[in-house]
Amino acid sequence: MSVQAGLILDHRLAECGGPVVGRVSWTGNRKLDRVGVVLRYRTEGRGDVDAALVAHYELGTAESGHARFRLDVPPLGPVTYHGQLLRLLWQVAVHIPVAKASTRAGAGLAIADLTVAPRGWTAPQAARPGG
């Protein structure tokens, strides 16, 4: 059995200081390593590249399982940004360690992108769930 992970977010839009909630499932953790979900951001573009892990949720060491999780965005963000010279991107990722010799890219890893907005910001109608 190969290592697999799945990740579903309840919403792909979060506010600074607000929660990111979802469901995760995994199988194939035969070494019984720690499985976890993380909230992180990274920058892309000209200049220095930056990345930070801002929240972590432990899922335990079971070979397989499923769970709900909640991660909190820091109150001061930063917010998602898509400019010409710089982009700031947020992701939630579930990680199951795999053998270093694994040839499958992304084995044991599931990623979901999300947008972080300032507190009190209202999404345009087209961006809202069901809109």
CB 67 within 8 A of CB 23: yes
- Exposure of 62 in the CB half-sphere (CA atoms within 13 A): 11
The whole-number pLDDT of residue 78 equals: 96
Residue 99 binned pLDDT confidence (cut-offs 50, 70, 90) = low
Please give the Cα distance from 41 to 35 (Å, whole number). Answer: 19
The token duo for 12 is: 């792909």
Q: What CA dihedral angle connects 70, 58, 99 and 40, to 10 degrees?
A: 40
- 4-119 has CATH 2.60.40.640 classification: yes
Task: Find all residues with CB under 8 Å of 50, minimum gap 6, and list them.
Answer: 42, 43
User: Is-above-0.75 flag for pTM?
Assistant: yes
Q: Residue type for 122, please?
A: T
Cα(93)–Cα(29) distance, integer angstroms: 16
User: Could you read off the pLDDT of 49-90 as tens digits, one per residue?
Assistant: 889 999 999 999 999 999 999 999 999 999 999 999 999 999
Task: Report the C-alpha gap between 121 and 90 in whole angstroms.
Answer: 17
Q: What is the pLDDT of residues 111-131, one digit of tens each?
A: 999 999 999 877 665 555 555
* Contact indicator for 13, 90 with CB cutoff of 8 Å: no
Residue pair 3/108 in contact by the 8 Å Cβ criterion: yes
Distance CA 103, CA 73 (A): 33
**Mean residue pLDDT across the chain:** 87
Q: What pLDDT score does 103 carry? A: 42
Q: Where are the domains of the chain?
A: 4-119
